[in-house]
Chain A
C-alpha cells in the first residue's frame, strides 16, 4: 500500500516536470523565447493573420527566456507535488472506509468503497464475457458491453438489497417481539393490481424451521421477501392484509429498520457481498450501526467459530468456494443474533458435502438457538428430518403440506436416444492445467451423433474445464470432430469451429446482448451464415418451447431476453449455439437453479438437438437429470474419467 502511494508521488513529480517542460515549449513556440543570456537559436518571427493577428510565432530563443519560463512554472508544479504528498501521508482508502460508516458524506464514501471493491468482479466479468463472446462467434461492441453491464446492474440490485436488509441507512431500530417472529393475517402480495399470493395466514414460532416449496414463479421469493420487507420496499410490490415481523408492521417498517432481528441470506450470495474480506463482511451490519470496532471484531470471530469457518476470517471474499460463500453469507446474517432468519434457496450451487453442512447449521440454529428459520427450496431430499413444517405454494395459495419423507423422487423415464455407430468426435489425451495444478489429466473419449452424454462428478472435479478445453482446444490433435482437428482451426475461421463444436457455458446469460428475442435470433442466424438447411434460430427456439401459435410466438419474440424465465433463457442460448449446426453441443450445468418443469423443458430441448444431428454432452451434478435424459454417463473425478458400470447403457 505504502509502495503504491509512493508510486503515486513519482507520477506526480513526472507530471510536474512535464508541466514545466510544456510551459517552456509554449514560450518558445509563441514568440516568448527572447530574453537575457546567450542567444541559442535565431528563429524568424511568423505573425498570424485574421482574428489572431497580434499573435507572433517563434522568434529568437535565449537561455534567459527558457529559465524565466521554467521559473514561472514552478509554483504550479509545486502545487501538483504538494497535493500528491498529501495523498502519500493520508491513507485516503482508510478515510473512505471510515467515512462510509458515519459522517456527512457517508453515501458518497460508501459509493466509492463499493466501486473500489467492485473492480475485481468487473474484471472477472469482462474476462468471462469475452470467452462467452468467442463461444458465440460475436465480435460486436454490444456483445461485450451489454452482458457486462447487465451483470453490473444485477450486482447493484443484489448489493442494494443486501445493504438494506443489514441496516444500511436505518433511521430507527424498533425492539423486536421475540415470541412472534412472523404473523401474516389474510395477506395478499402482488404487483400493480394482480396478486401473486392471496389469503396467506401464517404464525411462525421461534425455534422452528419452515420450508417453503413450489415451482419457479410460484412466489417462494415473494413470500420470503414479504417477511424481509424487500418485497414491499425494494422491488415495489404491493401488500394487502397484515404482516408483522417481530411485532413490526411490514408496510410501515422498511427492511433496514428490522435488520437488528431479521437475518436474510439471498439467493445469489456472491453478488450480495459488500466488503473485501470475510471479517469485514461478517461485521458489516454491526459496523454500519456504529458499534465499536473491537466489539465488531469480537462478534465476527464468534460467528465464524459458531459456523466452523474461523480459518476464513482473513480470506479475500472473492476466492471463496460456493459452500464457503454460503456459510459466510449465513454468518453475516447471524451477526446481529436475529429472531427470524430468511434463507432463499441456499443449496442451489452446492455439492453434497456442502449441502449437508448448511442444512446442519440451519438445523442447529432453529432447534438449539431457537431462531425462527424460513427456507425456500425446490430440492426437498436434504431437508427430511430437519423441517418442522412445509408450506407449498401453488396457484396463488399457500398450503400446509407434509414434510418431506427424505426419499428423493426418482425420475421414471428412460434414456431416449441410442448412439450411432461412427464416433463424431474423438477426444484424445486432453489435459488442462493451471500452473502446477492439473485439473483434467490426459482424458480421452468418443461422442456420437444423436446421443446425450452426461459428464458427472463433484464440484471442482474439472467438468467445466474439460468442456471449455473441448470447445476451445489449445493443443493440436486432442479434439477431432468430423475429421477436423479443432485445435488447428485458426481464429479467422471461427465459423468452421462453430460448425464443429459449440458450448453453452454455465453463466449462459453472458451470451445475450440484444433488446429483443427476435434480434438475438437474427444475430445468431447472421453469424451462422447461409448454412445449408438451417431452420433459423427463432424456429429452433420456439420448437424447444413447443410453441406453435403464431400470436404466442410473436409475443415471445418481442420480449426482452432477460425477461424470459431461466429455463426459457437457457433454451434460447441453446438455440443460438445450435444455429451453426455444430456436430458437438456442450452444455455446462444446465439444471442449476431450475425447477422440475424447467429442467424437463431443457432436457427435451437437448434430446431434440441430439435428434437433429448433434452429439450432446452435458456436465451436471444432478444425477436425476442425467439418469432421465442421458444415454450414457461419464464420471470425472480428480481429473480422470471413469465409466460407472450400472449406467453404461451403450
Chain B
C-alpha cells in the first residue's frame, strides 16, 4: 500500500523492538545494574501493555476509514470464533491461519492490528484476561504482520506464483507457530517455574545455564505439544483453504490510505468519451474515440 516507510512505520518498528525486549527480559536483565535488576520483571509486565496501547494509538488514525474498520471488525469476529471454537476441540489453534492469510492479503499493519483485536475480543468473551493478554496480543500481532512483510512473489505464471506463495505461507505458519510458543514461554518462564528448581531462571547466572533451563521448560510446556499441534494446524489449514481464502480476501480490496491525494476526475486507463451530453449547457466537445467497451 505504502512504498516508502513513513514515520508510523519507524514508530511501529521501534515499538516492536522495545516490546520484544519486554518478552526477552530474562535474557536481557543482566545488562541492568544490580539493584535495579529485581524491578525488571515488573517493568516488563507493565511495559508490554503500555506498548499495545501505543500501537493502537498509532494505527487508529490510519485505520479510520469505514471499510477498513468494517473489514477489521468482521475478521476479528472470525478470528475470535476460530480461537474460541479451537479451545473447545482440544486447543487446535487455527487462528494463525486467519491471521496469516489476512496479514498477507491486507498488509503488515492490518495483520498487526487484527492479531491484537482478535486476542482482545476473544479474551473479553472467553473471560481469559490476565497478565498474559498484552503479550499474546503482541505475539499474535507479529504473526499477522510477519505474513504481510514476506516478499511478494513474481516468478513464472500466476498459477505457479500462487502455489509458491501458499508454500511460503505454510512454511511461515510452521515457523510462526514455534516462534510464538518460544517467545510466549520466554517472558512467562520465570513466573511459571518460580525459584528453587533445576530449571528456574537465575538472575545473574551465565547465559548458557539459563538457556538450558529455558530449553527444558519450553520443550515440556509447549514446544513438543501445543506448538506442534499449532504448527500442523497452520500448515494443513493454509494448504487446504489458503488459495480460496486469499482470493476471497483480495477480492475485497482495502481502500487507499486516507492521506492519499484526492482522486482525479479523469478515469484511469484510456477512458475516452464517445457520447457527449446534448443538453444546452453541456460542454461542446466532439466524440474523440470509439467506446472502450468496443475494444476486442
Contact = CB atoms under 8 A, between A and B. Distances in A.
A100 to B, nearest CB: 9
B277 A111 contact: no
B77 A106 contact: no
Nearest to A92: B124
B32 interface: no
Given A186-B282, A195-B271, A240-B271, A104 B71 contact: no
A203 to B, nearest CB: 10
Nearest to A35: B196
A525 interface: no
Contacts of B57: 104-105
A164 B73 contact: no
B70 A190 contact: no
A185 interface: yes
Contact of B131 (A80, A87, A155): A80
B283 interface: yes
Contact of B197 (A11, A31, A126, A160): A31
Contacts of A84: 127, 129-130
B205 to A, nearest CB: 10
Interface in A100-115: 104-108, 110-115
B239 to A, nearest CB: 10
B69 A190 contact: no
A53 to B, nearest CB: 8
Interface in B63-97: 63-78, 80-81
A350 B185 CA distance: 56
A112 B122 CA distance: 10
Interface in B170-198: 191-198
Contacts of B291: 194-195, 396
Nearest to B255: A234
Interface string A54-71: 111100000001001100
A76 B191 contact: yes
A434 interface: no
A193 interface: yes
Contacts of A122: 77-78, 81
Contact of A149 (B248, B270, B292): B248
A248 interface: no
B160 interface: no
Given A11-B128, A153-B249, A108 B267 contact: no
Nearest to B80: A115
Interface string B237-253: 10011011101110111
Contact of A199 (B200, B262, B277): B277
Contacts of A161: 66-67
**Interface hub of A48, A76, A83, A164 (most chain B Cβ within 10 A):** A76
A194 B268 contact: no
* Dominant secondary structure at the A interface: helix
Interface in A16-41: 19, 22-23, 26-27, 29-32
B60 A514 contact: no
Contacts of A251: 262-263, 265
Interface residues of B, number: 87
Given A108-B117, A240-B273, A156 B252 contact: yes
Nearest to B283: A186
Interface residues of A, number: 103
B251 A193 contact: no
B86 to A, nearest CB: 13
A157 B252 contact: yes
A52 B77 contact: no
A134 interface: no
Given A54-B198, A76-B131, A118-B73, A111 B248 contact: no
Contact of A12 (B69, B81, B130, B283): B130
A169 to B, nearest CB: 5
Nearest to A232: B263
A277 interface: no
Contact of A105 (B56, B121, B131): B56
B234 to A, nearest CB: 13
A141 interface: yes
B244 A146 contact: yes
Interface in A228-277: 232-234, 236, 238-241, 251-252, 256
B17 interface: no
A455 B189 CA distance: 66
A389 to B, nearest CB: 16
Kindly name the residue among A53, A145, A232, A239 whose own CB sees the greatest number of chain B CB atoms within 10 A: A145
B266 interface: yes
Contacts of B129: 8, 12, 83-84, 87
Contacts of A32: 196-198, 200
A148 B79 CA distance: 12
Nearest to B193: A26
Greatest chain A CB density within 10 A among B72, B262, B265, B278 is at B265
A168 interface: yes
Interface string A160-198: 110110001100000000000000011010111111001
B154 interface: no
B279 interface: yes
B216 interface: yes
Contacts of B244: 142, 145-146, 513-515
A241 B198 CA distance: 78
A79 interface: yes
Contacts of A201: 277, 279, 282
B222 interface: no
A37 B277 CA distance: 99
Nearest to A241: B277
B241 A145 contact: yes
Contacts of B265: 238-240, 251
B198 A198 contact: no
Interface in B81-134: 81, 113, 117, 120-121, 124-125, 127-131
Interface stretch (B3-11, B21-29, B207-215): B207-215
Given A199-B276, A560-B247, A119 B127 contact: no
B74 A153 contact: yes
Interface string A321-332: 000000000000
B199 interface: yes
Contact of A107 (B64, B199, B278, B292): B64
Contacts of A123: 81
Contacts of A116: 77, 121, 125
B269 interface: yes
A79 B49 CA distance: 14
A597 to B, nearest CB: 18
A36 B127 CA distance: 39
A173 to B, nearest CB: 15
A108 B194 contact: no
The 7 closest A-B CB pairs, nearest first, are A193-B269, A114-B73, A160-B67, A238-B267, A160-B70, A186-B277, A8-B127
Given A12-B129, A115-B80, A156-B70, 20 more contacts: A26-B199, A27-B194, A30-B198, A30-B199, A32-B200, A52-B212, A53-B212, A55-B212, A114-B69, A114-B70, A118-B74, A155-B70, A160-B71, A161-B67, A168-B69, A186-B277, A195-B274, A201-B279, A238-B267, A515-B244
Interface of A: 7-8, 11-12, 15, 19, 22-23, 26-27, 29-32, 48, 51-57, 65, 68-69, 72-73, 76, 79-80, 83-84, 87, 92-93, 104-108, 110-116, 118-119, 122-123, 126, 140-142, 145-146, 148-150, 152-153, 155-157, 159-161, 163-164, 168-169, 185-186, 188, 190-195, 198-201, 232-234, 236, 238-241, 251-252, 256, 396-397, 513-515, 560, 562
Interface of B: 45, 53, 56-57, 59-61, 63-78, 80-81, 113, 117, 120-121, 124-125, 127-131, 191-200, 208-209, 212-213, 215-216, 237, 240-241, 243-245, 247-249, 251-253, 255, 262-263, 265-271, 273-279, 281-283, 291-293
12 contacts: A26-B193, A93-B124, A104-B60, A116-B77, A142-B240, A146-B245, A169-B66, A185-B279, A185-B281, A233-B263, A234-B67, A515-B247
